[in-house]
A and B are shown apart, each in its own frame.
Chain A
């Protein structure tokens, strides 16, 4: 997909041969969302041997000699039996991370020119991430919104959480206009514990409006990832003939000759993207742009890698917002898994 090259830079080294990935049209034809997510995650796990990233599971990190003050429960008694020395066994972060998937279900998400809509893609992506995180024993919650928050599922790690998430994602939506400001404020009110807030949306709003709510989220020490789902035609506005374009949200119609407006569309779109990044990046928020024809495995990979990067950059950003000491890269609270 040549059109994705500029936006898929992080995994350019992996190649863009879509034949290696699951066919999205076929995947979207699967009605069961859990099955879709499982297919993607399984495929993703299968392909890890080609991945430069290693180890996402809870695993042994290091031994260190026992010293005064250490909790005797952490002594590796088997090693003591073999070596007659007290060693403390240290593991990677075993604690459940909380991740909230914030999914935009506004009308603009219903657009799709590749056989399925952006919302389908976003749901599948959200289900995939949830599947993966729950498999990692992380607590996953779900918030859906359009103009306001529609549904809320608190992040937990428990039996049946995935089913609840999937059923909530599969729930049909009424869909209204996109308003990210109000839902994000609500999210910051609802999510009190520090969490990974993954916003899946097309972000077709004025970027400047997002600055305050995103900063608010970051001030609450949330880790934020913006997964921007776009239809390929939204990126380049490729249409052969003059057409009457109707806004899915407002119903407003406008006659457009693509040959005349294509360049200006692209220019404005890129400007919008740049403004969004210009607002997000200083806040330590990653913006992942995901065309709907982009393989979901790679999208999951983008999510995970952005999460990892977010952990590494959180220190600097946390310093800026006065949270660096608290959200520092302590083993127990994050850090790289790679």
Chain B
């Protein structure tokens, strides 16, 4: 037998009252008027010995009466039925989803995670399944739903606890939305064979930092039988300050033009662009902290602050300030924000940019009038950058063995772009074919009329078509001279193409001032392999390109010289040629800032030295890439034997540690668990079942009936005693 409210049973102690009262000699009701009390001492009632209890039956009635009432209030029930009910109860599919993003590295959070997870696991019923997942950039399974199903009942909680012990925060960026969506998939897929409407619960253990992205939940329909329970954890230190390197004003303009071929922004590289002069660093101090005075300082490769580089700054809570740092001293690999209590994101790494040297070659015969040559305008285009020096090479066609002849082979790594005029020998075509195949880029400018003939009497149009076929292997195209009454304009400019992407803004996409006095009309047999970036208004392709091996071949069907067009004289020429060169430059990760947790998929790397260790990991990159787990400077070895360093930093989003409003989850349709809907713990469920069982058994009711019966018996006994006393008097 159990009791719903066992404390009420203590009321049974009240039976001591009647026992004591029965032992106490009754206070006489008779009052004797007496002349004086001056000779009388008070003789208070005293306890008689036990044997002097005279009304045993009455005492029994009274004690039973009090005992019945006390036990009725204690709500007794038989618990055998409850055990049966508990064993027959169906379990809930529970999934523990632990945030392991970088912001969870904050002090105190790990202990808090341990506490809340243990509590959550303890609340689970024996029949519940317990799966354990973690997430930062991606969802990681520690104890899958299916594995949890295979664990026998009774062993699930220990197994889940063991899985939780293995979960540790990493340095990735938290993607809550994606993790929730993946968790739902895991739950629903693994229960596909069972009942679809089985109760599911996802417990999200997170610090709810605003850096967590909820975008992954957009468009996800949250199932009605699943609910989310957020187990928020808090660090011991509140607030956070972080420093981010800003691009210079000049960089801001150039960033707009840095677009990848697919239209996305090129990875921001403030380090490279801020290498010269002062560096601008934005220091942000989030609200809720306790510090407002910070110091920015450069660190060397060993993480030791470099003396003389400290810059103090004061940032009020909830604001940000831009601080200018001097150019990093030699040997500096990071800068750190000192004075912030939350230190996980205070150090940010960078790789000092290395100076590179490249060359651009122009294959063109000498021309009497230099203004009508390709080189005249091209060589005036500034291709140099802060860390890149560009030399112009002039190769003369048809001069084998001379200094100005085409080298063989042409190193694509050092000469990323070759401009080709109208004249080329067959050998040079072959050499350039090899160059293209090895990754070189050729810009073939057809700057001579197709109707004109070369020294052998062959029309240039035919020559263009032949070398086009030689380089690409496509069906021969027909190149003829277009009939131009006055001029032709560029039409159908593909602003999405890499070449014209910098002109995508309406302010720059006016090409109507570039007039072509003459141009070549090309009829491509197969247009599919070609990417036509622009056409003349006659419909003939003007700029079209294709890949040849690892390289790219681009054709300009007219010359940019003034006798051909106004292209070289237009404002579009310099950015177009710069873009051709930029597209031709070999991809490099030097100076690029990566974020920890990202996937690294540069196949040129063969080995990578993990920071803080001496482990040089062989990079056998899978399709998904290799995870950059720890912030720091990674030293990689490329396949050509050269080494290159990568700076991996804590994701900037993780530095934003303000707490997300839980309403955000509700807005995305997530069924949040409320207090009313919270699944009861085993103990609470038992209590509820006990309540139900007790109300069904109604033991308290019978006890109250017994109490009433005892009241009646007691009353009868009292009346009887009273009558006896009266008769005796």
Binding site for B on A (CB under 8 A): 108-109, 111, 118, 202, 204, 231, 234, 237, 239, 241-250, 252-257, 260-261, 264-265, 268-269, 272
Q: How far is the CA of A241 from the CA of B33 in the complex (A)?
A: 14
Q: Is B42 touching A244 in the complex (CB atoms < 8 A)?
A: no
Q: How far is the CA of A232 from the CA of B36 in the complex (A)?
A: 14
Q: Is B36 touching A254 in the complex (CB atoms < 8 A)?
A: no
Q: Is A261 touching B27 in the complex (CB atoms < 8 A)?
A: no
Q: Does B662 contact A (CB under 8 A)?
A: no
Q: How far is the CA of A257 from the CA of B33 in the complex (A)?
A: 15
A233's closest neighbor in chain B, by CB? B34
Residues of A with C-beta under 8 A to B40: 237, 245, 254, 256, 261, 265
Residues of B9-39 at the interface with A, using a CB-CB cut-off of 8 Å, are 25, 27-39
Q: Is B30 touching A204 in the complex (CB atoms < 8 A)?
A: no
Extra inter-chain contacts (11) besides given A255-B28, A256-B42, CB under 8 Å = A243-B28, A245-B31, A246-B33, A246-B34, A247-B37, A248-B33, A248-B35, A254-B42, A255-B45, A257-B43, A265-B39
Q: Is A256 touching B43 in the complex (CB atoms < 8 A)?
A: yes
Residues of B with C-beta under 8 A to A256: 40-43
A270's closest neighbor in chain B, by CB? B39
Residue A255 contacts which of B33, B35, B39, B43 (CB distance < 8 angstroms)?
A: B43
Q: How far is the CA of A265 from the CA of B25 in the complex (A)?
A: 22
Residues of B24-82 at the interface with A, using a CB-CB cut-off of 8 Å, are 25, 27-45
Residues of B337-373 at the interface with A, using a CB-CB cut-off of 8 Å, are none
Q: List 28 A-B contacts (CB under 8 A).
A: A108-B36, A118-B35, A202-B35, A242-B25, A243-B30, A244-B31, A245-B32, A247-B34, A247-B36, A248-B33, A252-B37, A253-B31, A254-B37, A254-B40, A254-B42, A255-B42, A255-B43, A256-B40, A256-B41, A256-B43, A257-B43, A260-B43, A261-B40, A261-B41, A264-B39, A265-B40, A268-B39, A269-B39
Q: How far is the CA of A2 from the CA of B116 in the complex (A)?
A: 94
Q: Is B34 touching A248 in the complex (CB atoms < 8 A)?
A: yes
Residue B39 contacts which of A202, A250, A272 (CB distance < 8 angstroms)?
A: A272
Overall SS of chain A's interface: mixed
Residues of B with C-beta under 8 A to A234: 34-35
Q: How far is the CA of A255 from the CA of B28 in the complex (A)?
A: 8
Q: How far is the CA of A256 from the CA of B34 in the complex (A)?
A: 12
Residue A242 contacts which of B35, B38, B39, B43 (CB distance < 8 angstroms)?
A: B43
Residues of B with C-beta under 8 A to A265: 39-40
Which 5 pairs, one residue from A and one from B, show the smallest C-beta to C-beta distance? Answer: A108-B35, A111-B35, A257-B43, A268-B39, A204-B36
Most chain A C-beta atoms within 10 Å of own C-beta, residue among B29, B34, B40, B45:
B34
Binding site for A on B (CB under 8 A): 25, 27-45
Q: How far is the CA of A231 from the CA of B45 in the complex (A)?
A: 27
Most chain A C-beta atoms within 10 Å of own C-beta, residue among B35, B43, B44:
B35
Q: How far is the CA of A252 from the CA of B40 in the complex (A)?
A: 12
A250's closest neighbor in chain B, by CB? B37
Q: How far is the CA of A241 from the CA of B26 in the complex (A)?
A: 11
Q: Is A245 touching B39 in the complex (CB atoms < 8 A)?
A: no
Residue B32 contacts which of A204, A243, A261, A269 (CB distance < 8 angstroms)?
A: A243
B38's closest neighbor in chain A, by CB? A204
Q: How far is the CA of A247 from the CA of B30 in the complex (A)?
A: 14
- How far is the CB of A252 from the nearest CB of chain B, in Å? 6
- How far is the CB of A68 from the nearest CB of chain B, in Å? 63
Q: How far is the CA of A250 from the CA of B34 in the complex (A)?
A: 10
Most chain A C-beta atoms within 10 Å of own C-beta, residue among B27, B33, B45:
B33
Q: Is A111 touching B44 in the complex (CB atoms < 8 A)?
A: no
Q: How far is the CA of A78 from the CA of B151 in the complex (A)?
A: 153
Q: How far is the CA of A257 from the CA of B27 in the complex (A)?
A: 10
Most chain A C-beta atoms within 10 Å of own C-beta, residue among B33, B39, B41:
B39
Q: How far is the CA of A261 from the CA of B42 in the complex (A)?
A: 8
- How far is the CB of A334 from the nearest CB of chain B, in Å? 35
Residues of A with C-beta under 8 A to B29: 244
Residues of A with C-beta under 8 A to B42: 254-256
Q: Is B27 touching A255 in the complex (CB atoms < 8 A)?
A: yes
Residues of A with C-beta under 8 A to B45: 242, 255
Residues of A with C-beta under 8 A to B39: 237, 264-265, 268-269, 272
Residues of B with C-beta under 8 A to A242: 25, 28, 43, 45
Residues of A with C-beta under 8 A to B36: 108, 204, 247-249
Q: Is B43 touching A261 in the complex (CB atoms < 8 A)?
A: yes
B37's closest neighbor in chain A, by CB? A247
Residues of A with C-beta under 8 A to B43: 242, 255-257, 260-261
Q: Is A246 touching B28 in the complex (CB atoms < 8 A)?
A: no
B32's closest neighbor in chain A, by CB? A243
- How far is the CB of B725 from the nearest CB of chain A, in Å? 12
Q: How far is the CA of A199 from the CA of B32 in the complex (A)?
A: 27
Residues of A with C-beta under 8 A to B38: 204, 268, 272
Q: How far is the CA of A261 from the CA of B43 in the complex (A)?
A: 8
- How far is the CB of B328 from the nearest CB of chain A, in Å? 101
Residue B34 contacts which of A245, A255, A264 (CB distance < 8 angstroms)?
A: A245
Given known A-B contacts A244-B28, A246-B32, A255 and B44 have beta carbons under 8 A apart: yes
Most chain B C-beta atoms within 10 Å of own C-beta, residue among A109, A234, A239, A256:
A256
Residues of A with C-beta under 8 A to B32: 239, 243-246
Residues of B with C-beta under 8 A to A252: 37
Q: Is A241 touching B30 in the complex (CB atoms < 8 A)?
A: yes
- How far is the CB of A242 from the nearest CB of chain B, in Å? 5
A231's closest neighbor in chain B, by CB? B35
Q: How far is the CA of A249 from the CA of B25 in the complex (A)?
A: 28
- How far is the CB of B240 from the nearest CB of chain A, in Å? 79
- How far is the CB of A62 from the nearest CB of chain B, in Å? 50
Q: How far is the CA of A243 from the CA of B42 in the complex (A)?
A: 11
Residues of A with C-beta under 8 A to B44: 255
Q: How far is the CA of A257 from the CA of B35 in the complex (A)?
A: 17
Given known A-B contacts A242-B43, A255-B42, A257-B43, A204 and B31 have beta carbons under 8 A apart: no
Q: Is A111 touching B33 in the complex (CB atoms < 8 A)?
A: yes
- How far is the CB of A267 from the nearest CB of chain B, in Å? 9
Q: How far is the CA of A248 from the CA of B35 in the complex (A)?
A: 5
Q: How far is the CA of A245 from the CA of B42 in the complex (A)?
A: 10
B25's closest neighbor in chain A, by CB? A242
Residues of B with C-beta under 8 A to A246: 31-34
Q: How far is the CA of A256 from the CA of B39 in the complex (A)?
A: 11
- How far is the CB of A143 from the nearest CB of chain B, in Å? 21
Q: How far is the CA of A242 from the CA of B42 in the complex (A)?
A: 11
Residues of B with C-beta under 8 A to A257: 43
- How far is the CB of A262 from the nearest CB of chain B, in Å? 10
Residues of B with C-beta under 8 A to A202: 35
- How far is the CB of B23 from the nearest CB of chain A, in Å? 16
Q: How far is the CA of A42 from the CA of B570 in the complex (A)?
A: 169
B41's closest neighbor in chain A, by CB? A261
Residues of B with C-beta under 8 A to A237: 39-40
Q: How far is the CA of A69 from the CA of B44 in the complex (A)?
A: 78
Q: How far is the CA of A272 from the CA of B39 in the complex (A)?
A: 9
Q: How far is the CA of A231 from the CA of B25 in the complex (A)?
A: 29
